[in-house]
Amino acid sequence: MEAKTARFVTPLIINGLRRLRGRRDGGPKITAGLRAGCPGGCGLEVTARRNVVCDFNWIGGAGRLPCMIYKTMDKLLTVIIPVYNTEETMDRCVESVVSQGYGRMEIILVDDGSPDGSPAKCDRWAGRDGRIRVMHKANGGLSDARNRGLDVATGDYVTFVDSDDFVEKGTYQALMAVLDGHPEYDILEYGVWKFYGSPRRERLAFADREYADTGRYWLDCAAYAHSYMWNKIYRRALFDGIRHPVGLPFEDILTLPLLLDRAKVVATSSLGLYYYCWNERGITANARGKEYRTLLDAHLRVIGKYRGRHGFWRYYLHVLNIQLTECALTGDSPRLEGRRVPLSECCGAAQRLKAAALNCLGMRWLCRAYMAFARVREAAVRLRQKA
């Protein structure tokens, strides 16, 4: 009998892997192997090793076909990795992608005119793995680099990875299995270790859910608070005619609502993990008044269409935080419309206190009070630094 080997992932394996999930360095791992025969009796023996990289060894008779629950995952996934001044971290990033265990990938490294050794590393990676393509271009920023990758992407699905971050092994294999079983999904979001490598490290995890109403996804899942481009896999056709805004910070929150307007079904998954690594030079660590103006603008464009829906007030208070910060950093007058917030809609004491202050003072006076508080807090920090 001639042995044949193929790669599949099935609901049986995924469920077994969920039961076996353990922990390693704050992330998931499989602590034991899973071995089972095909329940359909087709003669397929299944072995799962490490996360969800699974080998299926054909041991049946010649001419037989695998059970119908096992489907070949033949969809091409494009992974776009913008690279700029990340010589120290890009090897970790690219290695995490090429070792995913999902073979149907094209990996596009976009060198955004990096002045360090990153361009040479990109070329070396292309020489080592035939799935990797390299684009060298003049510096245009993160959005421009992502857009250039989208211009040449050919995958059925597309995702993004920042070159100072990395992806847990087996993530794409598991998520593409989910998409294989649910071809109606336009966007699939998965978990994140936020600010990995810093004391602020925080785990963002999701249940397995689907949203036929993208408004429910935005509000019930609080997608407005994790509108990152990189912890999601998208149907590439969603980007037809849509690109990231070049030259603006917080480009993710400006782009995701446009994609949601086109998406019919969005889902979240408990599988997979993206490591969003803390970067002291990044926009999150260094955002000032100009950046917060852009962030507030992005939310003001969309908040109105969710008024009256369940979860609106939680979103409103999220945008209020951004408005207060923008006023404190710029001295601008508030642009978010002041509204009376039902205290019953607030989650936790901090939200209730902020809502009560807004209801009593109004938007303008609340912003003035917050600006005064911010000045006092900044003066106290300076005094501590001098002491």
DSSP per position, 277-335:
E--TTSHHHH--HHHHHHHHHHHHHHGGGGTTSTTHHHHHHHHHHHHHHHHHHH-PPP-
pLDDT value of residue 187: 98
pLDDT value of residue 284: 62
pLDDT value of residue 43: 37
pLDDT value of residue 282: 62
pLDDT value of residue 94: 98
Work out the end-to-end distance of the chain between its first and last CA atoms, rounded to an integer number of angstroms. Answer: 80
Strand-pairing partners, residue 29, are: 22
pLDDT value of residue 167: 98
Query: What sign does the dihedral 325-331-335-336 (CA atoms) show?
Result: positive
Burial class from Cβ neighbours inside 10 Å (0-12, 13-18, 19+) for residue 383 reads: exposed
Q: What is the pLDDT of residues 64-78, one digit of tens each?
A: 333 333 345 789 999
Distance from C-alpha of 20 to C-alpha of 296, rounded to nearest angstrom? 42
Diameter of the chain by CA atoms? 81
Give which of 176, 155, 150, 160 is closest to 79, Cα–Cα.
160
Q: What is the pLDDT of residues 323-365, one digit of tens each?
A: 999 999 999 999 999 999 999 988 889 899 999 999 999 999 9
Q: Phi first, then psi: give them for residue 377, nearest 5 degrees.
A: -65, -40
pLDDT value of residue 285: 63
DSSP conformation class of 57: E
Distance from C-alpha of 235 to C-alpha of 80, rounded to nearest angstrom? 14
Q: Residues 341, 358: contact at Cβ < 8 Å?
A: yes
Low-confidence ranges of the chain (pLDDT < 70): 1-72, 282-286, 387
